[in-house]
Homo-oligomer: A and B are copies of this chain.
Amino acid sequence: MRILYVEDEKFLAEAVIHLLKKEKIAVDHAADGEEGLELALKPNYDCIVLDIMLPKVSGLTILETIRGRGVKTPVIMLSALNEVEDKVKGLTLGADDYLAKPFKTAELVARINAVCRRPALVEQEMMSFHDLSYDPANRTLNNVALTDKEAEIMKMFLVNPKLTVTKQQILAHVWGADSEHDENYVEVYMSYLRKKLKEIGSRVQIKTIRGLGYKLDV
């Protein structure tokens, strides 16, 4: 499970991220609304945790924007103001839950799990590139089943099919940011994915850019 956490209070953010990690929840962190909005638009997350008071772009604006763009990812709003008004406003704009600051991390974990447990109200969209299409609902690439990690990596490619993704980015995204993990993990999974691409018979392949990373290519 991977979430996006948009929070400007650095100290709080670090503490929360640390604790979430213990719960096996991988976290990408954005420190302001601008960065948060950019990341939130990518279909990479199981859940987005949004502070309302943020530098540059407010949490409510982020929420409104991504919902307007058809992003269905569950959103949990955070706010120092425990006013029911705000809560209702958030929920009206399409938030899935609301948590008042200060909160216990255990409470946040419970909400995240609850929100991810909900059936998707609308089916998530397929992601595609040339003759490849990934179906998030069934976790299949052209009807071939992917494992969890394989799917996470394939999604990274498909979000920006033209871009080269570095091993470090993949490690950070799939295995967690501070990871002591080996880059060999990534290499192993590239091998797995290439095998599946061959099985599919796609003309798309994973191309190595030596010293940089990997990208999809025809």
Contacts and interface: CB of A to CB of B under 8 A. Distances in A.
Interface in A39-90: 41-44, 56-57, 61, 65, 68-70, 84, 87-88
A87 B138 contact: no
Given A138-B215, A139-B209, A42 B118 contact: yes
B91 A65 contact: yes
A96 B137 contact: no
Contacts of A34: 84, 87
B43 A121 contact: yes
Interface string A1-43: 0000000000000000000000000000000001001100111
Interface in A143-176: 145, 147-148, 162-166, 168-169, 171-173
Contacts of A41: 91, 96
Interface of A: 34, 37-38, 41-44, 56-57, 61, 65, 68-70, 84, 87-88, 91-92, 94, 96-97, 116-119, 121, 123, 137-139, 145, 147-148, 162-166, 168-169, 171-173, 209-212, 215
Top 4 A-B pairs, shortest CB-CB distance: A117-B168, A119-B169, A148-B211, A138-B164
24 contacts: A34-B87, A41-B96, A43-B119, A43-B121, A56-B84, A57-B84, A61-B88, A65-B91, A69-B92, A70-B121, A118-B169, A118-B172, A119-B166, A119-B172, A123-B163, A137-B162, A137-B163, A137-B164, A138-B162, A138-B212, A138-B215, A139-B209, A139-B212, A148-B210
